C-alpha cells in the first residue's frame, strides 16, 4: 500500500485513488525562463507519476500555463512585444527545458487565454450561489461565505488579517476577499465579460481547468510549498463552493523550496539560475539526482559543489550498470532482490526518493563487488537501470563541462574580480576573453559574476 503525505491532514494516508489517477500540477507563469526551482518541482512530480505508472496505475496528468498575468504584461511592455508573443515563446522554451531534463509531458496543457469562456461561467456560477460579488468592474470571492476557508494552510481569517490590512478594503467587503475577475487597464489584453472588459484572476484559472479536464474531485494536486497560501487555499474555496463537493483534492502534495547558497532564489537579488544555465554545466541526470537525493518535502540548497557531487554519483551508477561482465561459468549471481525490495518500500512510503537513491547506490556497490569476484551481474545491472529509469535517470553519457575544469574556472573568475578591484581593466578583459574563447561566458550581476558554458 502506497502512503502519501497529505498537506491538508498533515499526515500520511493510504493512497486510494480513482482510475485513472487524476493528477493536477500547477504550471508556470510565462513571463521569464524557467529556473531550477521550477526544475525541482517538475522533477518531483514527474518521478511521482513515473513510480505510480511503474506500480500499475494509469495516470491522467494535467498542468496549466498561466499565459496572462500582471508580470507577463509588465515584462512584455518592457520588451515592447505583445504579451501573447512573449508567453508563446516562453512556452516553447519550457518544453525545451522539460525535454532536456527528461521530464515527461503532461497529457493536457491548458492555457488561460484559451479557457476564458469556461472561467467566466465558473465566476457567474459563484456569483449566483452567493459566494462572489461584483464591485466596480471587478469580481471577488467572499471568503466569509465559505466556512472551510483556511483548512489547507491551517489558519483562521483573523490570523490572515494582519497589521492595517483591514483599513484598506478598496472595493472589497473583507480584506481577504480575492479577485476572480479583474477589470481591464488601458492597453492591457482584455476579454468581454458580464462585468465589463477584463481578465481572470490568478486563482480561478486552476479551478476552472481542473474541473474541466479532471472533474469535480482530483486525486493529487501538486505544487510548491509557496503555493499553499493563498493559491491552493483559494482553489479549494472556489471549487468546493461551486460544486458543493468536498474534498476538491484527496491528496495535497507540496514539494519543499530550493535555496541558492542558503538564500531563497529571487530575481531581485540576482541569484536566479535558469534551467538552461544549470544544464550548461551539468547533465540532466546530475540535476535529477541532486533533487531526488532529498525527500521531496524537504528544502534543498543549490551550490555547484552539491551538483558536482551528484555528477560523480551518476558516473558511479553508470559504471556499475554498463561495465562488461568478467564472470566465469560460476553459478554465483549477485542478488538484486533485497535492493529492489528496499527501493519499493522507500517509494511506497510517501515517495521517499532519498532512500530509494540510497538503495540504488548500494546495489551499484554490490555489482562492483560481484564483478571483482567474477560473479554473474547482468540481472542486477538490468535491475539497476530499470529503477534508475523509474527515477527518470538515463545513465547515458552526456556532454557537459569537465568536472575537473570547474574549480579552475571559478579561480579565474576570482582572479578577474581582483584585477577589476585593482582597476587593471585590460588584464581583467583578457581573462574574460580567454574564457569566452573556451566557450565560457561570464555575466556580471549585482550579486556577483556567474558563468555558463
User: What average pLDDT does range 277-283 have in this prediction?
Assistant: 89
pLDDT per residue over 116-150, tens digit each? 999 999 999 999 999 999 999 999 999 999 999 99
CA distance 273 to 259: 11
Residue closest to 47 by CA, chosen among 377, 315, 388: 388
Q: Mean pLDDT over residues 370-395, rounded?
A: 95
How far is residue 361 CA from its own chain's centroid?
25
Calculate what percentage of the chain has a pLDDT beyond 70: 93
Q: What CATH number belongs to 312-390?
A: 1.20.120.640
CATH code reported for the domain at 3-259 = 3.40.50.620
Mean pLDDT (the chain) is 92
pTM here is 0.87
pLDDT of residue 376: 92
Average pLDDT over residues 419-442: 81
Nearest 5°: phi and psi at 41?
Answer: -65, -45
pLDDT tens profile 180-191: 999 999 999 999
Q: Which of 165-174, 209-218, 263-272, 363-372 has the lowest mean pLDDT?
A: 263-272
User: Which of 195, 194, 244 lies closest to 217 in space, CA to CA?
Assistant: 244
For residues 218 and 60, what is the distance between their CA atoms, to the nearest angstrom?
10
Cα(452)–Cα(406) distance, rounded to whole angstroms?
A: 11
Kindly indicate the confidence band of residue 349, based on its pLDDT and cuts at 50, 70 and 90.
very high
Instruction: Work out the average pLDDT over 222-235.
Output: 97
Distance between CA 408 and CA 229 in Å, rounded? Answer: 43
Amino acid at each position: 500500500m502506497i502512503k502519501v503525505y497529505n498537506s491538508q491532514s498533515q499526515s500520511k494516508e493510504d493512497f486510494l485513488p480513482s482510475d485513472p489517477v487524476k493528477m493536477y500540477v500547477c504550471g508556470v507563469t510565462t513571463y521569464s525562463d524557467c529556473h531550477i526551482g521550477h526544475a525541482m518541482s517538475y522533477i518531483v512530480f514527474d518521478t511521482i507519476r513515473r513510480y505510480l505508472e511503474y506500480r500499475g496505475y494509469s495516470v491522467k496528468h494535467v498542468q496549466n500555463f498561466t499565459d496572462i498575468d500582471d508580470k507577463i504584461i509588465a515584462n512584455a511592455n518592457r520588451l515592447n512585444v505583445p504579451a501573447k508573443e512573449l508567453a508563446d515563446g516562453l512556452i516553447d522554451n519550457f518544453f525545451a527545458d522539460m525535454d532536456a531534463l527528461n521530464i515527461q509531458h503532461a497529457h493536457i496543457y491548458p492555457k488561460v487565454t484559451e479557457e476564458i469562456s469556461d472561467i467566466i461561467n465558473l465566476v457567474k456560477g459563484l456569483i449566483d450561489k452567493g459566494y462572489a460579488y461584483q464591485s466596480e468592474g471587478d469580481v471577488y470571492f467572499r471568503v466569509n461565505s465559505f466556512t472551510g476557508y483556511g483548512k489547507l494552510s491551517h489558519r483562521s481569517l483573523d490570523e490572515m488579517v494582519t497589521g492595517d490590512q483591514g483599513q484598506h478594503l478598496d472595493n472589497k467587503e473583507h480584506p481577504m476577499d480575492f479577485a476572480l475577475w479583474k477589470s481591464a487597464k488601458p492597453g492591457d489584453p482584455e476579454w468581454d465579460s458580464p462585468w465589463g472588459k477584463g481578465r481572470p484572476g490568478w486563482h480561478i484559472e486552476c479551478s476552472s481547468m481542473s474541473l474541466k479536464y479532471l472533474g469535480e474531485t482530483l486525486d493529487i494536486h501538486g505544487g510548491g510549498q509557496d503555493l499553499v497560501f493563498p493559491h491552493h487555499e483559494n482553489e479549494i474555496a472556489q471549487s468546493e463552493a461551486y460544486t458543493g463537493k468536498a474534498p476538491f483534492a484527496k491528496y495535497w502534495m507540496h514539494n519543499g523550496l530550493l535555496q541558492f547558497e542558503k538564500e531563497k532564489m529571487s530575481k531581485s537579488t540576482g541569484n536566479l539560475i535558469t534551467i538552461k544555465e544549470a544544464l550548461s554545466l551539468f547533465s540532466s541526470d546530475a540535476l535529477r539526482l541532486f533533487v531526488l537525493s532529498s525527500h521531496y518535502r524537504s528544502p534543498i540548497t543549490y551550490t555547484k559543489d552539491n551538483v558536482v557531487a551528484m555528477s560523480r554519483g551518476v558516473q558511479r551508477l553508470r559504471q556499475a550498470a554498463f561495465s562488461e561482465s568478467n564472470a566465469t561459468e560460476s553459478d554465483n549471481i549477485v542478488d538484486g532482490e533485497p535492493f529492489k525490495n528496499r527501493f519499493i518500500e522507500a517509494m511506497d512510503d510517501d515517495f521517499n526518493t532519498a532512500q530509494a537513491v540510497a538503495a540504488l547506490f548500494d546495489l551499484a556497490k554490490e555489482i562492483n563487488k560481484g564483478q571483482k569476484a567474477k560473479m554473474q551481474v547482468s540481472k542486477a545491472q538490468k535491475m539497476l537501470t530499470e529503477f534508475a529509469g523509474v527515477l527518470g535517470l538515463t545513465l547515458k553519457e552526456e556532454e557537459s563541462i569537465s568536472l575537473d575544469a570547474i574549480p579552475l574556472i571559478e579561480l579565474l573568475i576570482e582572479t578577474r574580480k581582483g584585477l577589476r578591484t585593482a582597476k587593471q581593466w585590460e588584464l581583467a578583459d583578457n581573462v574574460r576573453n580567454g574564457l569566452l574563447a573556451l566557450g565560457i561566458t561570464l555575466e556580471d550581476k549585482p550579486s556577483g559574476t556567474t558563468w555558463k558554458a
